[in-house]
């Protein structure tokens, strides 16, 4: 099996870009259904404004060039090509750190965080560790190979990531992620605790389930009821993609407007403290992520975590691990910390950090600062 690491550069054919613009221009628009705002989904007028910007205001070539400023590579692990960014720090004692993106996201999630992590001095930060950053694309996402068989799991991806770090010559390193990455990062520690210094996640541990209710106080039961209302709001993509991922992928693969509408539905739900996603995440940043799904044709293959990877019987929260220290960007309530500490050695649980779900896209400086604070506790 080849272990070669091959340079990679994004170069979308102009014919693909022309095809995208043609499809956007020929979109068939549905009339706005009765009702206000987002109650029945992405409003038609709102979506049309996004599509107009995508056609005439968004410059893919400029963003493609920006992405190509990051050193990128491909290597074959477990029979599958893995695409990754590898940005080394100028600091000689930098800690290697692997960042795993979420869904429906891509390596673009971290493009604004990489600079503050690799070269903090250039951003006015003089304390805390710097990092050699590795950002792989999860199998089935953008430029990594699509799974060719069933049976994929976060544990399998975690083992691929530990092999990637070994292949890059890193013996001790950190693991970080949010959303899907919050499953994979702890699984890396389980797979290779002798190599993982610590696990930092954006959130996702300590959420109660029905099994925890008997041991709750009255106040905690009230808190759990509020959590249930929040968790059952919006479109349940776990159930939708577990039931019929192929069915929905046909539309998303064929129509960029359908794909954009789906992405905006989810990004709107993932930014509950904002009126609309672009209030907290730059519109072009979101469109770059959407473009990568479109150009690589991976909107279907990227759904594998929902239909088989995040629990045998449906959605389940990350199981956690107690082999190495854990830090959390957005910890949550005392109830959540108590439950998180059953399965994790939590040493970092701050309160008041800003941001919604994809904090690396929204508040990259705050995200990088919290990562430095956690790993600064673990390394000299």
CATH number at residue 307: 3.40.50.1820
Largest pairwise CA distance in the chain: 61
pLDDT of residue 203: 87
Going by C-alpha positions, the residue among 359, 356, 337 that lies closest to residue 348 is 337
Type and span of the H or E element at 45: helix 44-56
The predicted structure's pLDDT at residue 8: 98
* pLDDT, one tens digit for every residue, the chain (380 residues): 689 999 999 999 999 999 999 999 999 999 999 987 898 999 999 999 999 999 999 999 999 999 999 999 999 999 999 999 999 999 999 999 999 999 999 999 999 999 999 999 999 998 899 999 999 999 999 999 999 999 899 999 999 999 999 999 999 999 999 999 999 999 999 999 999 999 999 987 888 888 888 888 888 888 888 777 666 568 889 889 999 999 999 999 999 999 999 999 999 999 999 999 999 999 999 999 999 999 999 999 999 999 986 866 667 888 789 999 999 999 888 888 998 999 999 999 998 899 999 999 999 999 999 999 999 999 97
What is the C-alpha to C-alpha distance for residues 52 and 39, in angstroms, rounded to an integer?
A: 23
How many folded domains does the chain comprise? 1
Question: Is there a contact between 346 and 201 (Cβ–Cβ < 8 Å)?
Answer: no
Is the bond into 137 cis (omega within 30 degrees of 0)? no
pLDDT score, position 232: 59
Q: What's 278's DSSP letter?
A: G
Q: What is the Cβ-side half-sphere exposure of residue 349, based on CA atoms within 13 angstroms?
A: 19
The domain containing residue 195 runs over which residues?
5-376
Q: Is residue 313 packed enough to be buried (19+ CB in 10 Å), middle (13-18) or exposed (0-12)?
A: exposed
Residue 86: strand pairing partners:
134
pLDDT at residue 133 in the model: 98
């Amino acid at each position: 099996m080849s272990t070669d690491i091959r340079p990679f550069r994004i170069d979308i054919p102009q014919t693909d870009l022309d095809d995208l613009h043609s499809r956007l221009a020929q979109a068939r628009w549905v009339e706005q259904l009765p009702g206000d705002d987002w109650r029945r989904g992405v409003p038609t007028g709102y979506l049309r404004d996004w599509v107009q910007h995508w056609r005439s205001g968004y410059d893919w070539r400029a963003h493609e060039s920006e992405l190509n400023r990051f050193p990128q590579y491909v290597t074959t692990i477990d029979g599958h090509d893995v695409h990754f960014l590898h940005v080394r720090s100028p600091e000689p004692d930098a800690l290697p750190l692997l960042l795993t993106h979420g869904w429906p996201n891509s390596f673009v999630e971290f493009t604004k965080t990489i600079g503050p992590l690799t070269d903090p001095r250039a951003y006015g930060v003089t304390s805390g560790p710097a990092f050699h950053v590795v950002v792989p694309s999860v199998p089935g996402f953008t430029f990594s190979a699509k799974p060719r068989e069933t049976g994929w799991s976060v544990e399998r991806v975690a083992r691929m990531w530990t092999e990637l770090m070994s292949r890059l010559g890193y013996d001790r390193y950190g693991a970080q992620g949010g959303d899907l990455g919050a499953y994979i990062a702890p699984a890396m520690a389980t797979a290779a605790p002798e190599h993982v210094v610590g696990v930092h996640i954006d959130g996702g541990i300590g959420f109660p389930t029905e099994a925890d209710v008997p041991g709750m106080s009255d106040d905690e039961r009230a808190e759990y009821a509020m959590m249930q209302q929040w968790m059952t709001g919006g479109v349940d993509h776990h159930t939708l993609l577990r039931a019929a991922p192929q069915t929905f992928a046909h539309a998303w693969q064929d129509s960029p407007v359908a794909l954009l509408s789906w992405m905006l539905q989810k990004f709107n739900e993932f930014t509950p403290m904002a009126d609309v996603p672009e209030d907290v995440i730059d519109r072009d940043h979101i469109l770059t992520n959407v473009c990568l799904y479109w150009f690589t044709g991976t909107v279907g293959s990227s759904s594998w975590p929902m239909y088989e990877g995040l629990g045998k019987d449906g959605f389940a929260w990350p199981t956690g691990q107690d082999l190495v220290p854990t830090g959390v960007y957005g910890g949550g309530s005392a109830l959540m910390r108590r439950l998180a500490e059953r399965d994790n050695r939590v040493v970092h649980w701050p309160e008041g950090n800003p941001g919604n779900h994809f904090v690396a896209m929204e508040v990259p400086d705050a995200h990088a600062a919290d990562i430095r604070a956690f790993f600064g506790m673990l390394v000299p």
